């Protein structure tokens, strides 16, 4: 694993990789180095055969309080365009393995957008989510507007984005933005436990279900079903499908190999 300065990343037991955001003095504000290091860590874990699922977390005070305001405050539109600022960010969406987010504390702006890049989200009951960009005279720029609208519907999304006020973990959960709310001291533990549970499932099925669900978000139901069908057929060319169904018939636990 490469040496990082804005995050830490390691492979734990049971095929779980853990990435922690590590700029605590600025509440894990996301600068460009952090996005590039995150992408590097995710890509290394995606290629690493030992890793079955990836857990992303911050610290107790903040998952991340947004993009680094100091870094971008003097930028103009042309500088941002020439920097091709979202090149690495877009690549985060190409990670094939399951990503489980464990959120405590502030999860604002670009931090919320990073959390929304996770496939499953666990949050502390004290976590706060929000898009305060309107208070800075901007708006979300890394998918927040689009993803929030798809998750909670246009009326509620407009209300949150226009007000820029934080929503509690309970509210985020009620609107389908996160999966589970847990006691503050259990967030990481529960996220890792969930990661371990899915790590024992058929790797190819996990991979193609993830791909198909995200395609479904953008497609009409019928187009999505065609795509789903192709991936469903594809799984029937795997050894794991034969093993899984044989194990069912033999009333034993399947031994999946990811082939
Ligand atoms: N950027 C840079 N520094 C930050 C940020 C940030 N987003 N958030 C906090 N910090 C710094 C503070 O400046 C402070 O530094 P110092 O100690 O040197 O003064 C330190 O972190 C601690 O912060 P506070 O003293 O403010 O802590 P409080 O507990 O009083 O307040 C808050 C916590 C409410 C979270 C407050 O810090 C805050 O409002 N932060 C900014 C939140 C925000 O506006 N986020 C949105 C940023 S814009 C954005 O994310 C656009 C995304 C575009 C896509 C980018 C993709 C990566």
ipTM entry:
0.99
CA neighbor of 203 nearest in space, from 57, 48, 56, 93: 48
145 and 235 part of one domain: no
Catalytic residue flag (residue 67): yes
144 and 158 part of one domain: yes
Distance 109 CA to ligand 1 centre (A): 9
d(CA 164, CA 141): 14
**Is 259 domain-assigned?**
no
Q: Is the CB of 164 under 6 A from ligand 1?
A: no
Handedness of CA 52, 53, 54, 59 (dihedral sign): negative
121 and 219 part of one domain: no
Distance 27 CA to ligand 1 centre (A): 7
User: Considering only CA atoms, which residue is closest to atom 36 of ligand 1?
Assistant: 65
Distance 65 CA to ligand 1 centre (A): 5
81 and 150 part of one domain: yes
Report the 10 Å Cβ neighbour count for 57. Answer: 22
Distance 167 CA to ligand 1 centre (A): 17
User: What does the pLDDT read at residue 124?
Assistant: 98
Q: Is the CB of 66 under 6 A from ligand 1?
A: yes
User: Considering only CA atoms, which residue is closest to atom 4 of ligand 1?
Assistant: 26
User: What does the pLDDT read at residue 210?
Assistant: 97
User: What does the pLDDT read at residue 22?
Assistant: 98
Distance 185 CA to ligand 1 centre (A): 23
84 and 57 part of one domain: yes
244 and 171 part of one domain: no
Which of 9, 41, 123, 133 is an active site residue?
133
**Is 172 domain-assigned?**
yes
User: What does the pLDDT read at residue 7?
Assistant: 98
215 and 195 part of one domain: no
- pLDDT at residue 208 greater than cutoff 90: yes
195 and 207 part of one domain: no
Q: Is the CB of 90 under 6 A from ligand 1?
A: no
> Using one digit for the tens of pLDDT, what is the confidence trace for 32-78?
999 999 999 999 999 999 999 999 999 999 999 999 999 998 988 88
User: Considering only CA atoms, which residue is closest to atom 25 of ligand 1?
Assistant: 26
80 and 182 part of one domain: yes
Catalytic residue flag (residue 113): yes
Q: What residue ranges in 1-89 does DSSP mark as E strands?
A: 7-11, 16-21, 53-57, 62-64
Catalytic residue flag (residue 239): no
39 DSSP β-pair partners: none
**Is 118 domain-assigned?**
yes
Domain containing 161: what range?
A: 7-199
210 and 126 part of one domain: no
Q: Which two tokens stand for residue 5?
A: 């300065």
pLDDT classification of 220: cutoffs 50, 70, 90 = confident
pLDDT classification of 203: cutoffs 50, 70, 90 = very high
Q: What is the number of structural domains in the chain?
A: 2
Q: Is the CB of 198 under 6 A from ligand 1?
A: no
């Amino acid at each position: 694993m490469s040496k990082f300065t804005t995050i830490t990343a390691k492979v734990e037991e049971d095929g779980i990789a853990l990435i922690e955001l590590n700029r605590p003095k600025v509440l894990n504000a996301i600068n460009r180095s952090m996005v590039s290091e995150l992408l590097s860590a995710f890509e290394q874990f995606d290629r690493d055969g030992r890793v079955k699922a990836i857990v992303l977390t911050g610290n107790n005070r903040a998952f991340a309080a947004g993009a680094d305001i100091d870094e971008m405050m003097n930028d103009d539109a042309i500088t941002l365009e020439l920097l091709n600022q979202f090149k690495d960010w877009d690549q985060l969406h190409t990670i094939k393995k399951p990503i489980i987010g464990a959120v405590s504390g502030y999860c604002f702006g670009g931090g919320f957008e990073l959390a929304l890049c996770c496939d499953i989200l666990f949050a502390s009951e004290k976590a706060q989510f929000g898009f305060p960009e309107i208070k800075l005279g901007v708006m979300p720029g890394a998918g927040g507007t689009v993803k929030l609208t798809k998750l909670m519907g246009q009326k509620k999304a407009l209300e949150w984005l226009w007000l820029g006020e934080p929503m509690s973990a309970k509210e985020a959960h009620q609107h389908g933005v996160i999966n589970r709310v847990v006691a503050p001291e259990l967030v990481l533990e529960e996220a890792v436990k969930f990661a371990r549970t899915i790590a024992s499932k058929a790797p190819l099925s996990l991979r193609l279900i993830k791909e198909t669900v995200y395609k479904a978000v953008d497609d009409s139901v019928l187009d999505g079903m065609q795509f789903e069908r192709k991936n469903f057929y594809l799984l029937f060319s795997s050894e794991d499908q034969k093993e899984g169904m044989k194990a069912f018939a033999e009333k034993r636990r399947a031994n999946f190999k990811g082939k």
